[in-house]
Chain A
Amino acid sequence: MTKVLRDYILGFRIRQRGRRDLRRLIQVALSQISMELGGLSALVRNWDFEDVSGLLLLHVVADPRSLEDLSSLVKSSLSNIIGEEGEVDEAPLSSQGVNYVQARSMLPSPITLGFLLRAKQKCGELKTVNRLEALTLVLAYVTMGDLQRMAVTSAFLDLDPEDLSKTLKSLRSMGLVELGENVKLRDGGVKLLNELIPSLRLVSEEAKVSPVKVLDESGGVEDFSPDKLASSLYKAGISYPLVSRIVPAISRMVKEEKILSKSYVVSMVCSMLQELEPAKASAARFHAYVYALQQIFVKGRGGLRRLSWSYVRAISRRVLGERGLKPPSRLVKIHSERIVEEIKSRITWSLYGGEVWVLGESELLNIAKSVAPYVSRAWVDLSSKDSTTLMLEYLEEAVNLIGLTDGVEDYAERKLLTMKAIHRFSSALLIWLGLLPSNEAEINVGVLRGEVRRIAAKEPALSSTWGRVKRACSLSLRLLRSPPIPAPNENVEIRRALRELSTLFSRIRVEVERKISYNTQIP
């Protein structure tokens, strides 16, 4: 059955007996039901709580048929979190006594609004239109030509409503738009946007990588990155004013070089830190942070051993594998990096050059467990449910979420939904294959694609299900890498891919469910 999605405001009245931070509790209650919301084809866009009257308003996007279930779900989650210290009721918002009314977002999502704000700076004079006309055309495009949304959004872009009105008339006189109840783009307008939108994105010049190479002690080579240097300084506990002085200075110094040793860069940074903060141990802290791995030892049953990447990876595999699913090597890699970052952040403050830090193996395992949720939410979910249940939940959520994308009127919001749907779909399929999914959709799809290739190598006549999974992976990667604000011609491709992916998700879900039920009938 086709889902019709609409925006609603849902009302609840919270009467609290104690004086607790209700805003935080509401946030917890809403995050706890995020998966169930996906199951109901609903999204919470925003919420507002009035602490004097206890009125909680939720802005949701939902299928009208699921509103009552949604309301009960929110109410029960809020009641559980608030417990005996308060009471939650539905707040009637309409004359009919129901606790919901229809609504309409007046502003685009933050990502789309951010694009518009950048567009305001970057829209230059084109051959046929001036800056304001170009911006107005983009605004009409991203708001789907909704005049009321355009009028409100323009206020957030510091455009005078009168100027907007005049510019729209001028675009009409140029034959780029039609003005009626809404703004409709004409062919000329679409053509102009196909040229304009890509030019407003971050151009490659801005994201260009440095040509300077850095050589580490073991012979590894990487590009010199001011961002990475800044990140290391922050993580070593160096204050922002120092970081902002050191990074540009070092970047200037190394820009003429072709290849540098890592120790050379570290020495330069340490010497600057010592000069800038002579009375503090910033230089020692930074040095200790960079070379932390050499100064950490792990004490286990086999005695004392230096912490190495291979040892960290072994620990990672052990912890991630606790749920009975094999962690893919890419997941182990990012988990290991998190573990090392966590250890470094703990020891940086206590280490001065020359000292060593001894870590118990159980401590290391605890650190690995504490950072596991950052790389695999499924690892957490699997502690309370079996893998088949979780897989089926993810599949259901994926099908619902991809179905929602058709009704979303904001490009960036549609992209986020698409990413979430792909993440859930790829996670479900990886679990089916006995692999632990990561929190990154792109990693999951990459692993899944690799697995499908492996299956194809064994069975050249790939089954229809795996054939569909292969196609879904290819479409998913294309969609994941698509721009959040597509040009009209790109949007046509995206919509086509989304429609196909939606069909594939539904079919694969049915096939997987059928296979599971068949398997469970045969012991």
Chain B
Amino acid sequence: MAGLKLRVLLHGATLDLTLTVSRIEELLPHEEVIPDYLEALERAFRVSVYQRNPIIVDERSMVILDGTHRWAVMRKMGYKWIATCLVDYRNPSIRVGRWIRAFRSKSIVDVKPFLREFGGIEVKHPNEIRERDLAIIWCGKAYKVHYEHIEEAYSLLKNLEGEVSKLLDSRPTYIPDIVSLNAGCRDELLLLPPTLSKEEVVRIALKGVLLPPKSTRHVIPARPLGINIPLKLLAKSRIDVKSLEGILKQRMPVMVKTPIILERKYEEIVLYFM
């Protein structure tokens, strides 16, 4: 695979990153996009001359692991190529997590009748909820929703998200699953999607199925930022990857001690190209 190959040393392990460009049409998303976010991103792309940060892609399957919105915007704007950071998804240092949906509510609402429609069963304690469960935690009580297969689980999740939003008149905020599930705070309902495996992510993407937005939370232990690939280059029908390497090699990577807040908070190793 042509491009700039960087090896990042993790504690006792390594992660190889290949900075390159990929044909937009050859990449496979696995999640839907959030329309509002897409619009905001498009406005930013219209005034910028660069793609600043590469999207993260599995080098074997070409499934997008992080950056679906940027990919969707650039595709919509007619770009032929997109700057990518290719990784080997099988590397154990790359993990898949989930985004828990948290809904705030000013009043206590009885969710049992509503959950019955979805086949929700109350469990004894929130601690009984496992990673693979589709579940709701509310007022200290936990409910599991039965599903046959993972695609069904995410289809149910989408419906549940819509219904809970209506019921509580609240839009969800997405919180990483590393946050402890001391659920049951009185004013917060948590909707927990099942955590996907890497194989499932790839299989679903290859089938062309799109999961709801924020279905996966990929934890990539090292991330290149600020590579500044000129957008006019990405609009061309042909790109010489060697010339792209030439652009990248004129920038000086700096490893930043994280966490760092650059538009969002990065906890992972950041290689910032200056």
Contacts and interface: CB of A to CB of B under 8 A. Distances in A.
B261 A104 contact: no
A107 B252 CA distance: 6
Contacts of B262: 11, 55, 57, 93
B5 A152 contact: no
B178 interface: no
A148 B255 contact: yes
Interface in B1-37: 4-9, 14, 16
B7 A101 contact: no
Given A101-B256, A104-B255, A106-B253, A52 B47 contact: yes
Interface of A: 7, 9, 11, 45-48, 50-53, 55, 57, 59, 92-95, 101-107, 147-148, 151-152, 154-156, 160-161, 164
A317 B249 CA distance: 46
18 contacts: A11-B262, A46-B274, A48-B228, A48-B274, A51-B48, A57-B272, A94-B260, A102-B257, A104-B257, A106-B255, A148-B9, A148-B255, A152-B7, A155-B4, A155-B7, A156-B249, A161-B5, A161-B7
A46 B226 CA distance: 13
B72 to A, nearest CB: 18
A50 B52 contact: yes
B259 A94 contact: yes
Contact of A59 (B261, B263, B274): B274
Contacts of A92: 261
Given A93-B262, A94-B261, A104-B257, 18 more contacts: A7-B254, A11-B262, A46-B274, A48-B228, A51-B47, A103-B254, A103-B255, A103-B272, A104-B255, A106-B271, A148-B8, A151-B6, A152-B7, A154-B7, A155-B5, A155-B7, A156-B249, A164-B7
A48 B226 contact: yes
Given A48-B274, A51-B48, A59-B274, A147 B9 contact: yes
Contacts of A156: 4, 249
Q: Closest 3 interchain pairs by CB?
A: A161-B7, A102-B257, A151-B7
Contacts of A103: 254-257, 272
Contacts of A9: 254, 256, 260, 272
B44 interface: yes
B4 A151 contact: no
B102 to A, nearest CB: 20
A148 B48 CA distance: 32
Contact of B9 (A93, A94, A107, A151): A151
Nearest to B249: A156
B252 A95 contact: no
B227 to A, nearest CB: 11
A101 B255 CA distance: 11
Contacts of A95: 259, 261, 265
B263 A53 contact: yes
Nearest to B257: A102
Contacts of A102: 256-257
Interface string B239-274: 000000000010011111111111101000001111
Contact of A93 (B5, B260, B274): B260
A322 B49 CA distance: 48
Contacts of A47: 274
A106 B254 contact: yes
Given A48-B226, A93-B260, A161-B7, A152 B272 contact: no
A105 B274 CA distance: 10
Contacts of B16: 161
Nearest to B261: A93
Contact of A105 (B14, B44, B254, B260): B254
Nearest to B9: A148
Residue in A9, A59, A160 with the greatest tally of chain B CB atoms within 10 Å:
A9
A283 to B, nearest CB: 39
Contacts of B253: 106-107, 152
Residue in A57, A105, A160, A164 with the greatest tally of chain B CB atoms within 10 Å:
A57
Contacts of A45: 252
B73 to A, nearest CB: 13
A51 B49 CA distance: 9
A48 B249 CA distance: 15
Given A52-B47, A92-B261, A94-B260, A104 B254 contact: yes
A52 B256 contact: no
Contacts of A59: 252, 254, 274
Residue in A9, A106, A107, A155 with the greatest tally of chain B CB atoms within 10 Å:
A155
B6 A155 contact: yes
A105 B136 CA distance: 46
Contact of A152 (B47, B52, B257, B271): B271
A340 to B, nearest CB: 37
A105 B4 contact: no
B256 to A, nearest CB: 5
Nearest to A107: B252
B47 to A, nearest CB: 6
Interface string B42-57: 0010011100100000
A55 to B, nearest CB: 7
A47 B274 CA distance: 6
